[in-house]
Structure 1
């Protein structure tokens, strides 16, 4: 359906693709992976002809429809969310527009002389509309929006009043409603809560067309794709299997290539030693010449391309008291809406609580109360003795000083630390080379999140309160955080929609429900096994 043949592409000084080839076949579900800046979004844009390769060819079979979702959703306002979704449904929405125009024309007395032609055209268009499921379009649009977390009120409200994250969901719903032959999805899992993510996972698994997608969510990728295309060093390499299989295969390939490289280097060293030793002896001239010619003909084995793996080790945090945070009979509401009505909750030293709950259950509110960002309407929130808290929330990124560089902001935060240790810290969080000199005002959401986390974790608190710390983080940074936090000796309370993160780090689960809190001993994996669902909004 789609073929990339020997493509070359360069942005300024950066070479993205060199004689790279890959293809997407009918019905395939493919994950596109590679480090940040490798060219994933550029590849999508070349397929939809928003960009063109410098060399080679991108071919799309005749008649193939493509739905492309990217992070740039454009302007949306002046219509309801459901109307905005229906407007983007591809050919069927164009046919709906023509149907309305024909209905208006047939009702126009001044066009009576055209009536036979209009009626005939109306019949043709109406037949095509029915064939494409046009009369079921609004129902399907509402079903998709509901799956992505919209209430009926939000569906019928002005799309312009929605936040950026909800507008992203509207843009995604358009592509899902369109049902194209091929979906190109660039980070569709961003901005989704766990319930919406699991719904989307099920939708894409049942989608009959071809799919090419990127995602920073490991579980999401694992459960959908059956093939991986990796961009690395300008090349495209295809692996059969899901993301876990790709990682294992890549590691195995690297190991084999390293062994071949080492063997060849040992052989070359031995031959060069012989040549060096006997090159001045006439009696060995023929042998020396023979070996020189042999070495000239040998095809050199390249060492494997090693991805830079980021490792961050916590300094041991100071010890806190046994009771880290305590909520007693806490009441909290916003306007007429009551979030908690007498909530009791205790966090003890060494516990790692993940907080679960549907949208509006009060997950972030709980973290704000404990962090002191919000006050209860009644009841008490007590922080224990010797507790040093680190609180990460999305608004924490707003405190970065726009004109400071990444490095300046670290020096500002830790004036006594050595430059070497701060550069190492920046490297762990993905700021290496020239990136350390970037001004904070030009950083992306993910880069800001990484910088704030780096500032928080260098001099570690003994109580980490984290609200969606994995938003915007790529897989490598998430894995670095999971590895580091696995060895963290303090206490944790966190909200995340990343199932890999939840499963790896929690040892307690607090589920907030309208009936009251449910506490589970054991982490997220045990919670799933005991409840039979992966998120509170899902029931099996």
Structure 2
């Protein structure tokens, strides 16, 4: 079933076209990423869908009674309530139902002497129905759901009574998203939802959205996030929204293939046109061939000429090169503790970084990743321990706060003052490769955007030809095209890199090693970000198994000590019963998993184009889905009963 359609929509500013001929379909359970270069109008299109801006052409059609949740970019929750009070407002109908149930309970208790009366029976029937509805709408679990979502966004119970209007902008944005998730709208439209989220929260949000029952339309610069969530990608261009099936990585591959095919088709047509034009030119004036030339001319006139493929928008292009190689050992960090005012926040940290390696530093917010880089550079002293650079190491540093720039200088002088003997045309040429062209070089640094400052700092780093570069959040202010250029520059760099980043896609792309900082110290993982996640999951599972084994051994030892001959047989019987219940629980859980797989298969079939336009097929699939849901409910009831019996053995 189609929830929403964007049909031939355009946004114009006088004679200027932001975009036109935009078509986009959102079906039930869609997972759509909307991508495109900066300034193409992604946020504008979302606002048109939400009726916050008008469409100059085209229309938006919506399914009847469609509910939409919308998170604009960097929009925070505005409320005079406390955090928990505001989340409770989502469940106000349930809370009113709960209140009515309690009123009915009191009334039924007071009329207990009239058990045979019609009124009493009516009250019981009403009570049973309300209890059923309350349970079906998660009446017994909505408070746990609130706590779970708030915990996912890093709000603990100690925060629940804080007034929302006293929170930071980032906290208000997280709460706005939390409330939207709890509301469970049919369609959720999120514009840069990953802003202000650390890696742990991003992982939680991805897992939550993967199980979200409604449809999703997402705009994000977080490519790892889009890879995890998106199942379709629409690339917004000034003249169309081009659809690609699959996640972000699939989109990149398919787009490249599409551009290659378009280029081949264009070249083939040009070759044909050249031959026809050459024939006409040579033969039009010759009496013996003029008719054939006229025929070729008519062919030329009928050809629908293809536009030359434009490919990617021209972005920055640069490289990092080392003036001279360093020694084999670039950096040694030995038993280092980092922190402030003699208070250690992480350690001991140990690193041996070798030439041409690219190492990523990860860890929770507040653990001191940026502090660690500054301690290596001598800007903040280690609490204890030390670090040493190797032979012939020349260090460069990219500061995430972009403090390594002079606010009152022009772009040109910011670079030229560091290289006064370099000709101005060479400085301008290098700045041009970083997209500072023409009058851009006269801009004052303090007036630049975050992305422009980032590109200017990268320009300075590229010109200094360091053989070891420390980056602190280098992708924070860059658009996707600039991130991809930076990735390629680092992969081709003939030096060594140590960097801090929350951009998991970037880490995956460039890192050959990942070091995790924690209060307990450092741990090295010899692979990319996905490898790091896999090993962390294995470590967690192993720790849980060890904990379970220790618990079992302790329980067994205690049981052996206390078991006597008189209760030995009784214990064996109880163990047999417990094992039977465990088998029954596992069997029921397997049935639930199988039913869930079947339900997903039915839902996918319902959203298939060849089915959702066939009323008979949709009706059959809906009947199958209803039967499946009834089976799930019956199996869940059996599972709850059996699991409750099993809990008595714990």
> What RMSD in Å do the two structures reach over aligned CA positions?
3.6
Counterpart-to-counterpart distance in 2, 1:434 and 1:77: 45
Q: Does 1:491 align with 2:475?
A: no
Change (3 A) 1:186 1:493: same
Change (3 A) 1:83 1:228: same
Counterpart-to-counterpart distance in 2, 1:125 and 1:433: 71
3-state SS of paired residue (1:149): coil
Q: Does 1:349 align with 2:355?
A: yes
Q: Does 1:312 align with 2:314?
A: no
Change (3 A) 1:530 1:405: same
Q: How many residues align?
A: 514
Correspondence for 1:73 = 75
Correspondence for 1:105 = none
Counterpart-to-counterpart distance in 1, 2:6 and 2:468: 50
Please, which of 272, 281, 297 is the counterpart of residue 276 of structure 1? 281
Counterpart-to-counterpart distance in 2, 1:272 and 1:170: 65
Counterpart-to-counterpart distance in 2, 1:524 and 1:371: 25
- Cα deviation code 1:96-147 (max 9, x no counterpart): 8999999xxxxxxxxxxxxxxxxxxxx9999999875577545333322322
Change (3 A) 1:288 1:406: same
Change (3 A) 1:101 1:401: farther
Shift of 1:194: 1.7
Correspondence for 1:249 = 254
Q: Does 1:469 align with 2:474?
A: yes
Please, which of 225, 250, 262 is the counterpart of residue 230 of structure 2? 225
Structure 2 runs not aligned, ≥5 long? 101-126, 546-650
Contact 1:216 1:473 in 2 (8 A): no
- Cα deviation code 1:379-409 (max 9, x no counterpart): 434444543322223222x454556554554
Correspondence for 2:379 = 373
Counterpart-to-counterpart distance in 2, 1:527 and 1:206: 24
Counterpart-to-counterpart distance in 1, 2:240 and 2:439: 24
- Cα deviation code 1:419-446 (max 9, x no counterpart): 5554554455455677666554454433
Contact 2:315 2:482 in 1 (8 A): no
Contact 2:346 2:520 in 1 (8 A): no
- Cα deviation code 1:60-101 (max 9, x no counterpart): 2232111111223257575544445556x4xx46x5899999
Correspondence for 1:358 = 364
Q: TM-score of the superposition, structure 1-length normalised?
A: 0.83
Change (3 A) 1:69 1:395: same
Structure with higher helix content: 2
> Whose relative contact order is higher, 1 or 2, with alpha carbons under 8 Å and at least 6 apart?
1
Contact 1:330 1:377 in 2 (8 A): yes
Correspondence for 1:179 = 184
Counterpart-to-counterpart distance in 2, 1:265 and 1:233: 25
Correspondence for 2:270 = 265
Correspondence for 2:44 = 42
Contact 2:338 2:375 in 1 (8 A): no
Structure 1 residues 381-400: aligned runs within 5 Å: 381-396=387-402, 398=403, 400=405
Q: Greater shift after overlay, 24-33 or 494-503?
A: 494-503
Structure 1 runs not aligned, ≥5 long? 103-122
Please, which of 531, 537, 552 is the counterpart of residue 532 of structure 1? 537
Structure 1 residues 129-528: aligned runs within 5 Å: 133=138, 136-160=141-165, 162-307=167-312, 308=314, 310-334=316-340, 338-340=344-346, 342-396=348-402, 398=403, 400-402=405-407, 406-419=411-424, 421-431=426-436, 439-528=444-533
3-state SS of paired residue (2:59): strand
Correspondence for 2:19 = 17
3-state SS of paired residue (1:395): coil
3-state SS of paired residue (2:401): helix
Change (3 A) 1:130 1:42: farther
